[in-house]
Structure 1
């Protein structure tokens, strides 16, 4: 009597060919975890953490009960589920798992190709890919299983690419065209499949069709990722255009590098080994000013992090308050402590000109930055997230996620293991990111605000009019971005005195024009914070901003807006969560002066409103680094 376990598709256990009923999703996930570590001890703590996001007190007894039920499935002597000191070990022959048979056949095919036995290599690869019944571990979701599934699915695609290339190498032309066309439609980013299809079409006398396949791929890469085709693909296009002899004959394709013949290739479960990584951080500002207390708090949190576990720092604050600038400055300072890669991705949560970057595309940017070729990117969000976690596991990396819309946009980008540091900036408070160290960022103290004016505009000019400089800083609301724009205007106009700048900042309408340049508009940036509020919340902001400056309480807000106290409190809660009002005390609120200017100019709610941009539906990832806020 024999048993086999099938994971290249939905998980199945078969006994002498008959399907064995493994009941319950948790028991199936437990079996999958044991198969991933076949013939190795699997700690109980690992099983509990994988089977539950928030383990209940009864987690260990539940695992014991599931193990007891699995033992009833393993009915022969070669297949045993034994208890060891730390947990359990599933003992079984290697070929009992179809994934092991798949990797063995692929390994043997590569050895055959190296020896020049191409027909045998094709036969072995075909039998290897025929083992697949769908996506690996289809329907099973826990971190280790998902990560293993991503790697297995990638191995299948690589085997298919090798198979197609070998068939072309031995002289097949017409027959692979249909198969390659179907595969490329399913995996349009796979560079090797596109090259093979172009080669097959060219050898069939269809050069125009081959060039059309190249152009289709070029447009797809540009639209999806903002990238150009690979050098190999561009070289093949050039050869086809030149009608080079090489594209009409079998291509001497180098053999893939694989493990030595006879070596076992286990199911993929381990992390990528630590090593050097890319530095994708934007430049640090040489005139960075202030933030000593905030920097000390963040560095203290980093110093007290739990060894071996990721740490997340969430910096929130109103638009223009300097969240990005602080995060980038801190990231550069901490780069030596996180040598395995420093990553930055702009999530565009509040950019009026384009919708937020969806996590699927943000992961494409991060994975490509970490060396994954565009044609090797998994198709689904779950697979990309698992691949990203697998690549970060065991590494000391630093990740800056800038201008997040909400926690849902951030979660798929977070590492699962390893001593990674994640810096998230957002205008909205990210209370749903459990375990994050939160830092609400406020405007600069008056002294630091004047120093920033001087460092940008010229310390001598500012020092000659200290009272006017203090007044200018106050009219900018001590907001770093407003200060930078105003100081730039002063710097670029040598005939101005600081008093001239103050005159332009004193009137709200002139102030809005003064705080605008060709590429930066403070009011537009602040207006982006209102795009996700509903009509009632925008109306509330508009009405309250037209009241005299100063703190107000809930009763006054209700009287001014005509809302009930409960409704007014609901609006204030939303505005506070979005850093559009300040809480001066337990029952007092106020507007920042520039937020007041922005809210006062909001459209009348009685007018038809412009639809808000859909959340996280960006079509193109903009790889530019935005101006620091």
Structure 2
């Protein structure tokens, strides 16, 4: 018999025949939970002792833990030969062997990923089935019978994923015209989560499409009251816009039954804990103005900024807020401008992908760039569509992708400025404010995790220099290590190799900087590398010219090109600065640095004891 381990509800071990194994009392169940949550990883005895006794293990903890392990082994062994060697004893701890397909949370993740992929590829029926199957993996709140502190953060993360999948499933159901079917489920969810504006929006839209305009407006009033009373905030712009559309009986809200809309809603999910950026979002939403008949130009908004500053998250968030204003489609296309494993997307290839998203058959795609651009503009001539072009490499890559219709909106992200692009708004995105950075960390880690270390939240935010990617990595690192205090990670980030710790299996600040560096030409690489060893916070043209052995005019040209690439910041005419995390990356790798200028180690580089010319170091 195959073993089954379940954490999406009460923690249990069982068999594929449905039999549940009685593993023992609360401590043994807590041991099982710790082993399952960290499946196939060795857990040290001291960590397990802290986990089982909530940080206060008795003097006999090691011996008692051993007895719990023996008891759990015997219960698993009773299911057959396969259960006998599930718990392995390693040099300094214990490890539970879990095979693929045996853990319910892995099955949930797989079904969720497949459902989202189906939705992105324009198969909403299949997406609904897969997401609904994912939700059937649940039997209640995650780790429901475990009261240990180590389980709290993990359980919250799993439960958040469950709510997000519920919302996505119901949104796809609604897009397929199943308004009446989703209303009961949405009523239950909005009562359980009255502050979740996405769920409120879905219920309002479902009620309106069922002919219950007054009830939809009542739901808005109740949600607004809850938000003001509980959080002291007004509903977000998306919810307020829907409220106004319902008041106006806007025809945009009517469901379109034809297959005409299929495949044109492939935005990535919005970030559940999107934080701050209030001014930036407001500027980007200024395109929502009363229709001006005299305006004939396409609306284009562009955001540029250094790696990891949160450009994509911002634009996807704005696109979701604007979704109701562009009912004919919300398209997302990655242009691979700075992917280490991909070449920048060719414009003809990009247009082919966009036309396929609109439902054009592959056999009908024209052969040339010009023909594809013409078809793209024709397809969008009478449609209201928002298009997100992510990680653009150049103006030449983007220009053929711009629709011709005044009814469309294009949102573009890029690391460098796209000079010559005609936009309604162009902004350079800066790192988050200290307040918002701390708030983001607090939301990721949860009040239970941060309440005892409020000062360390701000310290961590500043060690990350308020860069969203770094903050996300720190949040993920702490989330996966429930026994760590915030101060533990602070100590590690303060050492000379702290930057190397800012990475996870899927996120890497180092890799983001490396790809931006690789895209620079040789002179830019040499100058930015030398300036990375400069001891001062900022420097002027003269210091850079001496350091790089360039004449001042050439030095200024290179520095300005690095500003345009968002590798340097302009601090006024002729004065520049480098982001501290980029400086750390350059100091840590020595990438492209001449031997004569390379510090012997990072500590030497931080003190400025390099072999740069004295005039450069003094500037």
Which category of TM-score, normalised to the shorter sequence, fits these structures?
0.5 to 0.7
Pairing of 1:30-45 with structure 2 (within 5 A): none
Structure 1 residues 199-229: Cα deviation after superposition (integer angstroms, max 9, x where no partner):
xxxxxxxxxxxxxxxxxxxxxxxxxxx99xx
Query: In the alignment, is residue 545 of structure 1 matched against residue 545 of structure 2?
Result: no
In structure 2, relative to structure 1, the CA distance for the partners of 1:287 and 1:572 (3 Å cut) is same
State the distance in 2 between where 1:585 and 1:301 align.
30
User: 425, 433, 441: which is aligned to 1:445?
Assistant: 433
Q: Which structure has the bigger radius of gyration? A: 1
Aligned pairs (5 A) from 1:102-501: 276=261, 278-303=264-289, 307-501=295-489
User: In structure 1, how many angstroms separate the alpha carbons of the residues matched to 2:344 and 2:502?
Assistant: 25
Whole-angstrom CA distance in 2 between matches of 1:378 and 1:492: 48
**Structure 2: 5+ residue runs without aligned partners?**
1-119, 122-257, 596-619
Displacement of 1:497 in angstroms is 0.8
CA distance in 1, matches of 2:291, 2:459: 42
Q: Within 2, Cα distance between the matches of 1:442 and 1:305?
A: 31
Q: Distance in 1 between matches of 2:545 and 2:571?
A: 18
CA distance in structure 2 between the partners assigned to 1:526 and 1:508 by the alignment: 18
Paired residues of 1:344 and 1:399 also in contact (CA < 8 A): yes
Q: Alpha-carbon deviation of 1:550?
A: 0.7
Where does residue 568 of structure 1 map in the other structure?
555
Classify 1:549/1:470 alpha carbon distance in 2 versus 1 (closer, same or farther; 3 Å). farther
What is the SS of the residue equivalent to 1:303?
coil
Alignment CA distance shift 1:461-1:447 (3 Å): same
> Structure 1 residues 483, 304: closer, same or farther in 2, change over 3 A?
farther
Shift of residue 384, structure 1, vs aligned partner:
0.7
Instruction: Please tell me whether the aligned partners of residues 275 and 395 of structure 1 are also in contact (alpha carbons under 8 angstroms).
Output: no
Query: What is the SS of the residue equivalent to 2:303?
Result: strand
Aligned residues: 336
Cα shift at 1:605 = 4.9
Separation in 2 of the partners of 1:473 and 1:390? 47
* Partner SS for 1:580: coil
Measure the CA separation in 1 of the matches of 2:590 and 2:369: 36
The answer as to whether partners of 2:384 and 2:408 remain within 8 angstroms in 1 is yes
The DSSP-based 3-state class of the residue aligned with 1:411 is: helix
Q: Classify the secondary structure of the residue corresponding to 1:344.
A: strand
Tell me which of 473, 492, 495 is aligned to 1:504: 492
For residues 579 and 331 of structure 1, the distance between their equivalents in structure 2, rounded to whole angstroms, comes to 24
| Residue in structure 2 matching 1:522, options 509, 515, 518 | 509
Tell me if the contact between 2:303 and 2:428 (Cα under 8 Å) persists in the aligned partners.
yes
SS of equivalent residue, structure 1 residue 401: strand
Structure 1 CA distance, aligned partners of 2:535 and 2:400?
44
Q: Indicate if the aligned counterparts of 1:316 and 1:425 stay in contact, CA closer than 8 A.
A: yes
Q: Is the 8 A contact 2:335 2:345 kept in 1?
A: yes
Q: 2-side partners of 1:521 and 1:405: how far apart?
A: 20
Q: CA deviation at 1:274?
A: 13
Q: TM-score under structure 1 normalisation? A: 0.51
- C-alpha contact (below 8 Å) 1:301/1:437 kept by paired residues: no
User: How much does 1:574 deviate?
Assistant: 1.1
Note the alpha carbon deviations across 1:439-482, whole angstroms, 9 max, x for none.
11100000100111111122332232122221111111100010
Match of 1:593 among 565, 580, 590: 580
Residue 28 of structure 1: aligned partner: none
Contact 1:274 1:394 in 2 (8 A): no
1:392 and 1:405 map into 2 onto residues whose CA distance is 24
Name the SS for the 2:426 alignment partner. Answer: strand
3-state SS in 1 of match to 2:472: helix
CA distance in 2, matches of 1:363, 1:423: 16
Distance 1:319 1:362 in 2: 23
Are the counterparts in 2 of residues 274 and 340 from structure 1 also a CA contact under 8 Å? no
Q: 2: distance between equivalents of 1:553 and 1:527?
A: 25
The answer on whether the counterparts of 1:309 and 1:420 sit within 8 Å (CA) in structure 2 is: no
Q: Secondary structure at the match of 2:301?
A: strand
> Which residue in 2 is equivalent to 1:133?
none
Distance 1:275 1:525 in 2: 38
Whole-angstrom CA distance in 1 between matches of 2:492 and 2:273:
24
User: What is the CA-CA distance between 1:304 and the residue it aligns to?
Assistant: 7.2
Structure 1 residue 309 displacement after superposition: 3.5
* 1:555 and 2:528 correspond: no
Q: Which runs of 4+ in 1 moved over 6 A?
A: none
Cα 1:582/1:429, change in 2 over 3 Å? same
CA offsets 1:361-416 (integer angstroms, 9 cap, x no match): 11111111100111111111111111001001121110000000011100111001
Asked if the contact 2:327/2:385 (under 8 Å) is kept, the reply is yes
Per-residue CA deviations over 1:399-439 (Å, capped at 9, x if unaligned) read 00000001110011100124100000000101211244201
Cα distance in structure 1, aligned partners of 2:552 and 2:389: 37
Provide the alpha-carbon RMSD of the alignment: 2.2
- Structure 1 residues 542, 305: closer, same or farther in 2, change over 3 A? farther
Instruction: Give the aligned partner of residue 578 of structure 1.
Output: 565
**What is the CA–CA distance in structure 2 between the aligned matches of 1:478 and 1:346, rounded to whole Å?**
25
Gaps of 5+ in 1: 1-225, 228-272, 608-629
User: Please, what TM-score do these two structures have when normalized by structure 2?
Assistant: 0.52
Deviation at 1:487, TM superposition (A): 1.0
Name the SS for the 2:510 alignment partner.
helix
